[in-house]
Amino acid sequence: MTNENYRCGFVAVVGRPNVGKSTLINRIMGQKVSIVTAKPQTTRHRILAVHTEPDRQIIFVDTPGLHRQAGKAMNKLMNKAAVNALADADLVLFLTEAGRWTDEDADVLQRIVSCKAPVIAIINKVDKIHPKERLLEELAKMAARHEFAEVLPVSAHKGSNVDVVTSLIPRYLPESPPLFPAEMRTDRSPEFHAAELIREKLTVLLRQEVPYGLTVQIERYERDEGGLAINAIIWVERSSQKGIVVGKQGNILKKVGKAARLELVEQLHESVHLELWVKVKENWADSEKDLLSLGYESP
The per-residue pLDDT of the chain, averaged, comes to 91
Q: Which domains, and CATH codes, for the chain?
A: 7-172 (3.40.50.300), 190-293 (3.30.300.20)
For residues 142-170, average pLDDT = 95
- Closest by CA position to 217, among listed 253, 187, 191: 191
> Does the structure show a pLDDT above 50 at 23?
yes
| pLDDT of amino acid 299 | 56
Give residue-wise pLDDT tens across range 217-263: 999 999 988 899 999 999 999 999 999 999 999 999 999 999 999 99
- C-alpha dist (Å) from residue 22 to 13, 47, 50, 238: 9, 10, 13, 29
- Closest by CA position to 190, among listed 239, 130, 232: 232
Give residue-wise pLDDT tens across range 257-269: 999 999 999 999 9
Cβ neighbours of 160 (radius 10 Å): 14
Per-residue pLDDT band for 1 (boundaries 50, 70, 90) equals very low
Q: 155, 138 in Cβ contact below 8 A?
A: no
| pLDDT of amino acid 11 | 97
